[in-house]
């Protein structure tokens, strides 16, 4: 530090270069995957020109299409169920009067985030098999709904906390009953957060691998479980292509959730 420059604690020498390296660490491997997916050579690491042919091969693969279809059906059901449950839960936690059980409710809702995935996976498997429930897709829909709840709940709860109760109080002063208040004031203000929560739940469900692998049975294979099976057989251009598609879907949805959630900031 020279005396000519005033002290600036916001600037640490070398720190921006270091941070750039960390971001390179985060994103370079993903970029490599995407580049390989467009490589026309079957030998993944030898570049032989740009090509879409592995994406075409993936699109024509019936097993991949079936798995993707399963994944989307499960994600849609889990998203609707978990978002509805999470919206009600967030309203209760932020606007309700919980005389007792608030900390228990908060801890319980955080459980899917706290318990390691492998534990959730095998305990869910034990539970369904103990009950004799072998319903393939339905089992997966239930399991996904459970772990999507906290992801849908967090943005809704944050939004309720941010916007405070003033607008709702104004509505109450104008003699709106509880239902009208919800329909005309709270819900419209919550729509961006509910949409953001729903998109997050959808992404989390679509991406889930471990729980799906343990709970799914023949005929209810999801896309990540199918991709894992392909990966076990070795590195192929098809794996790179389908992984790139799933990667792109996640990024697009998360960016959408961010944009949607940021709208409607006035309250």
Partner 1 sequence: MGPNRTYLLIAPAMLVIGIFMVLPLFLAVAYSFMTANPYGGVTAPATFDAYLQFLYQRDFDDSLVFSPSYALIILRSIYLAIATTGICLVLGLPVAWYIVCQTPERRRVLLFAVTLPFWINTLIRTYCWILILRDEGLANGALRHAGIISDPLPLLYNDGSILLGLVYTFLPFMVLPIYSTLERIDPRLIEAAHDLYASRAAVFRRIVWPLARPGALAGATLVFAPALGSFLAPDLLGGGKKLLIGSLIQMQFTSSRNWPFGAALSTVVTVVVLTVFVIRSRKAQEERR
Which region, judged by CB under 8 A, interacts with partner 1, from 48-56, 66-74, 188-196, 205-213? 205-213
Q: Residue 11 interacts with partner 1 (CB under 8 A)?
A: yes
Sign of the alpha-carbon dihedral angle for 94, 99, 103, 108: negative
Tokens 């020279």 locate to: 2
Q: Residue 88 interacts with partner 1 (CB under 8 A)?
A: yes
For residue 170, give every residue at least 6 positions away whose Cβ sits within 8 Å of its Cβ, in sequence order, or none: 185
Dist. CA 226–CA 93, nearest whole Å: 39
Which region, judged by CB under 8 A, interacts with partner 1, from 48-56, 58-66, 79-87, 189-197? 79-87
Tell me the C-alpha to C-alpha distance, in Å, between residue 217 and each of 75, 138, 139.
Answer: 17, 11, 10
Q: Residue 179 interacts with partner 1 (CB under 8 A)?
A: no
In 3D, which of 159, 154, 152 has the Cα closest to residue 263?
159
What radius of gyration, in Å, describes the C-alpha atoms of the chain? 23
Dist. CA 190–CA 156, nearest whole Å: 7
Q: How many CB atoms lie within 10 A of CB 201?
A: 29
Where in 121-150 is the site for partner 1 (CB under 8 A)? Answer: 121-127, 129-130, 142-143, 145-147, 149
Q: Residue 246 interacts with partner 1 (CB under 8 A)?
A: yes
We find the least distance from the C-beta atom of residue 90 to partner 1, in angstroms, to be 9
Distance of CA 18 to the CA centre of its chain: 29
- Give the binding-site size for partner 1 (rule: CB under 8 A): 86
Of 67, 77, 86, 198, the one binding partner 1 by CB under 8 A = 86
We find the least distance from the C-beta atom of residue 9 to partner 1, in angstroms, to be 5
We find the least distance from the C-beta atom of residue 261 to partner 1, in angstroms, to be 12
Q: Residue 80 interacts with partner 1 (CB under 8 A)?
A: no
Q: Residue 175 interacts with partner 1 (CB under 8 A)?
A: no
Of 24, 48, 63, 119, the one binding partner 1 by CB under 8 A = 119
Where in 33-72 is the site for partner 1 (CB under 8 A)? Answer: 33, 36, 43-45
Q: Residue 250 interacts with partner 1 (CB under 8 A)?
A: yes
**Nearer to partner 1 (CB atom), residue 74 or residue 93:** 93
**Nearer to partner 1 (CB atom), residue 145 or residue 221:** 145
**Nearer to partner 1 (CB atom), residue 18 or residue 50:** 18
Q: How many CB atoms lie within 10 A of CB 104?
A: 10
For residue 2, give every residue at least 6 positions away whose Cβ sits within 8 Å of its Cβ, in sequence order, or none: none
Q: Residue 194 interacts with partner 1 (CB under 8 A)?
A: no
Q: Which residues pair with 39 in a beta bridge?
A: 50
Q: Residue 118 interacts with partner 1 (CB under 8 A)?
A: yes
We find the least distance from the C-beta atom of residue 53 to partner 1, in angstroms, to be 19
In which region does residue 238 sit, left (phi positive, over 0), alpha (psi from -120 to 50) or beta (all else)?
alpha
């Amino acid at each position: 530090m020279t005396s000519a420059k005033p002290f600036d604690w916001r600037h640490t020498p070398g720190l921006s270069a270091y941070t750039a390296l960390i971001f390179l660490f985060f994103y370079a491997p993903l970029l490599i995957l995407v580049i390989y997916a467009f490589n026309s050579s079957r030998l993944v690491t030898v570049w032989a020109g740009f090509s879409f042919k592995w994406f075409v091969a993936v699109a024509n693969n019936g097993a991949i299409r079936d798995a993707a279809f399963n994944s989307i059906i499960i994600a849609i059901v889990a998203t609707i169920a978990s978002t509805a449950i999470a919206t009600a839960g967030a309203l209760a936690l932020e606007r309700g009067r919980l005389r007792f059980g608030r900390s228990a409710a908060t801890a319980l809702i955080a459980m899917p985030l706290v318990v390691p995935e492998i534990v959730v996976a095998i305990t869910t498997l034990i539970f369904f098999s103990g009950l004799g429930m072998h319903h393939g897709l339905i089992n997966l829909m239930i399991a996904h709904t459970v772990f999507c709840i906290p992801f849908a709940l967090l943005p809704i709860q944050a939004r309720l906390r941010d916007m405070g109760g003033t607008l709702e109080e104004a509505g109450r002063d104008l003699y709106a009953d509880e239902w009208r208040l919800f329909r005309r004031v709270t819900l419209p203000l919550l729509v961006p957060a509910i949409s953001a929560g729903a998109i997050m739940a959808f992404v989390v469900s679509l991406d889930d691998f471990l729980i799906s692998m343990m709970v799914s049975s023949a005929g209810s294979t999801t896309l990540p479980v199918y991709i894992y099976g392909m990966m076990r057989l070795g590195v192929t251009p098809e794996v790179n292509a389908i992984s790139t598609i799933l990667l792109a879907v996640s990024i697009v949805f998360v960016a959408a959730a961010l944009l949607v959630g940021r709208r409607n900031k006035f309250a």
